[in-house]
């Protein structure tokens, strides 16, 4: 089974339909030339300054990983808000309303979504294949998935992705497997893409970074959309300066987790009122939380 490619003129419903069937899809021309150039200019020099990881098992000793992307480039915001991924994620994750009783009132609620992490991933020559895994493992999700997925991952190619330079390897259809079946490298296909294309996959789809046997690095940006009642994998409150968060639109502030969900997850109390943390962002006297220096 191969990875289906869709043009950037596809509707979120068309993209979601392929993802539901195959667990993965590639969108050609996902990022505009301006966003792609901006990301390359802002992130590639930063990647030059950081060392590769020190975890030989999963993160890779010849792989550089740069997170806190919203603190580092506004072009990452354009990626997060691209309707091709954002609206598709909403269609897949915000389903199956849950009914619950509060006394004699029955209330129905659907989950909201948020950005769970941001990471530029640069795989250098000599890096072996990453262990095949499901990204929803961080949330201890069970399979086959009951009702709804926990997350949708997005990988935007900043360089070409080829079989030789470590294109992400995916097992289409594996989102339907149970937790006993082991994923095998010979069941994977490489997600070959041009710079600016994007790969989207369900949290339950097996995949992993590919082995880089070429002579240059492969760079992509990973940015999962997750159910907002789960804890963010990357702590956005400690990663993005408050002044920067204040400058974002309310829609984006909510996507970053500065929202009180419909079921009160993430509330704060101010003067005895149980409110949305968005209220805090509007207060002049709220200056900062302890950020990563």
Residues that bind Fe ion (CB under 5 A): 135
- Name which of 208 and 217 has its Cβ closer to ligand AKG: 208
Rounded to a whole number of angstroms, the minimum distance from the CB of residue 208 to ligand AKG is 6
94 class by beta-carbon count within 10 Å (0-12 exposed, 13-18 middle, 19+ buried):
middle
Residues that bind ligand AKG (CB under 6 A): 121, 130, 135, 168, 207-209
Q: Which does 121 bind (CB under 5 to 8 A by kind): ligand AKG, Fe ion, none?
A: ligand AKG
Other Cβ atoms within 10 Å of 284 Cβ, number: 5
Q: Which does 151 bind (CB under 5 to 8 A by kind): ligand AKG, Fe ion, none?
A: none
Other Cβ atoms within 10 Å of 230 Cβ, number: 18
Residue reference for tokens 């550089």? 64
- Name which of 47 and 281 has its Cβ closer to ligand AKG: 47
Rounded to a whole number of angstroms, the minimum distance from the CB of residue 107 to ligand AKG is 36
Distance CA 268, CA 278 (A): 9
Residue reference for tokens 């792989």? 63
Distance CA 159, CA 44 (A): 10
Rounded to a whole number of angstroms, the minimum distance from the CB of residue 247 to Fe ion is 30
Rounded to a whole number of angstroms, the minimum distance from the CB of residue 20 to ligand AKG is 20
- Name which of 75 and 134 has its Cβ closer to Fe ion: 134
Q: Which does 228 bind (CB under 5 to 8 A by kind): ligand AKG, Fe ion, none?
A: none
Nearest 5 degrees, angle CA 207-CA 140-CA 178? Answer: 60
Residue reference for tokens 């369900």? 202
Q: Which does 211 bind (CB under 5 to 8 A by kind): ligand AKG, Fe ion, none?
A: none
- Name which of 204 and 253 has its Cβ closer to Fe ion: 204
In Å, how far from its chain's centre is CA 251? 17
- 193 has which bridge partners? 161
Rounded to a whole number of angstroms, the minimum distance from the CB of residue 256 to ligand AKG is 20
Q: Give the nearest residue (CB) to Fe ion.
A: 135
Instruction: Determine phi and psi for 250, rounding to 5 degrees.
Output: -60, -35
Contacts 24+ apart (CB under 8 A), 13-20: 13/91, 15/84, 15/88, 15/200, 16/88, 16/91, 16/92, 19/88, 19/92, 19/152, 19/200, 19/201, 19/202, 20/92
- Name which of 121 and 240 has its Cβ closer to ligand AKG: 121
Q: How many CA atoms lie within 13 A of 16 on its CB side?
A: 17
Q: Which does 168 bind (CB under 5 to 8 A by kind): Fe ion, ligand AKG, none?
A: ligand AKG
Rounded to a whole number of angstroms, the minimum distance from the CB of residue 210 to Fe ion is 12
- Name which of 135 and 160 has its Cβ closer to Fe ion: 135
- Name which of 168 and 228 has its Cβ closer to Fe ion: 168
Rounded to a whole number of angstroms, the minimum distance from the CB of residue 272 to ligand AKG is 42
Rounded to a whole number of angstroms, the minimum distance from the CB of residue 168 to ligand AKG is 3
- Name which of 97 and 131 has its Cβ closer to ligand AKG: 131
Integer Rg of the chain from CA: 19
Tokens of 54: 């020190």
């Amino acid at each position: 089974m191969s990875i289906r490619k869709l043009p950037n003129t596809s509707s979120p419903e068309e993209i979601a339909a392929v993802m539901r069937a195959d667990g993965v899809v590639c969108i050609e021309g996902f990022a505009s030339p301006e966003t792609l150039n901006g990301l390359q200019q802002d992130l590639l020099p930063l990647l030059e300054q950081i060392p590769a990881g020190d975890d030989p098992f999963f993160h890779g000793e010849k792989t550089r990983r740069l997170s806190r992307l919203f603190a580092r480039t506004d072009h990452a915001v354009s990626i997060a808000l691209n309707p091709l991924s954002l609206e598709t994620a909403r269609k897949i994750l915000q389903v199956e309303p849950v009914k619950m009783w509060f006394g004699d009132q029955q209330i129905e609620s659907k989950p909201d979504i948020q950005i769970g992490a941001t990471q530029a991933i640069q795989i250098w020559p000599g890096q072996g294949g990453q262990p095949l895994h499901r990204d929803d493992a961080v949330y201890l999700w069970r399979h086959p998935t009951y009702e709804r997925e926990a997350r949708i991952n997005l990988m935007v190619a900043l360089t070409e992705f080829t079989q030789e330079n470590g294109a992400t390897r995916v097992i289409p259809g594996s989102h339907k497997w149970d937790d006993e079946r082991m994923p095998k490298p010979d069941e994977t296909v490489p997600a070959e893409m041009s710079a600016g294309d994007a790969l989207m996959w369900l949290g339950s789809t097996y995949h992993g970074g590919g082995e880089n046997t070429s002579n240059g690095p492969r760079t992509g940006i990973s940015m999962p959309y997750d159910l907002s009642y789960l804890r963010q994998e990357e702590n956005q409150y400690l990663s993005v300066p408050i002044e920067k968060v204040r400058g974002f639109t309310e829609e984006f502030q909510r996507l970053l987790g500065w929202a009180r969900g419909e079921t009160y997850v993430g509330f704060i109390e101010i003067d005895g009122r149980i409110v949305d943390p968005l209220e805090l962002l509007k207060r002049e006297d709220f200056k900062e939380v302890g950020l990563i220096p």
